[in-house]
């Protein structure tokens, strides 16, 4: 199965996207090119997007942990969804 490595790569990309340097750079760009009345709204949307990335990272980490553990790789998702393997 290639699920584990693919999820690990995805989690790493999400981690990079959430890095403080990238977030700071994005906020600086917003402040420099966007009018002040709109920059607050965009900053709020950026914070919302960061929260969404945190959720995606947590889900990716969960499935990565399921992949790493050798027990019931095939049945974990089916059990979580309540379906038959």
Domains of the chain: total: 1
Torsion of CA 30, 35, 36, 39, to 10 degrees: -40
Biggest alpha carbon distance in the chain? 54
Residue 75 is assigned to a structural domain of this protein: no
The total of other beta-carbon atoms located within 10 Å of residue 64's CB is 19
Cα separation, 81 vs 75, whole angstroms = 10
Residue 80 is assigned to a structural domain of this protein: no
Q: What is the pLDDT of residue 2?
A: 45
Q: What is the pLDDT of residue 1?
A: 41
Residue 8 is assigned to a structural domain of this protein: yes
Residue 84 is assigned to a structural domain of this protein: no
Q: What is the pLDDT of residue 55?
A: 82
Residue 22 is assigned to a structural domain of this protein: yes
Residue 24 is assigned to a structural domain of this protein: yes
Kindly give the confidence (pLDDT) of every residue in the chain, 85 residues in length, as a single tens digit, with 9 standing for 90 and above: 444 555 555 556 666 666 667 777 777 777 777 777 777 787 788 778 778 877 887 887 787 777 666 555 566 666 666 665 5
Q: Which residues contact 44 (CB under 8 A, 6 or more apart)?
A: none
Query: What residues make up the domain containing 20?
Result: 3-64
Global pTM value: 0.44
């Amino acid at each position: 199965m290639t699920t584990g490595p693919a999820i690990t790569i995805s989690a790493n990309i999400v981690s990079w996207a959430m890095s403080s340097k990238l977030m700071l750079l994005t906020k600086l760009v917003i402040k420099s090119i966007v009018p002040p009345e709109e920059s607050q709204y965009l900053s709020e949307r950026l914070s919302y997007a960061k929260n969404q990335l945190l959720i995606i990272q947590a889900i990716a980490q969960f499935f990565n942990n399921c992949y790493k553990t050798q027990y019931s790789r095939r049945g974990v998702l089916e059990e979580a969804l309540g379906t038959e393997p």
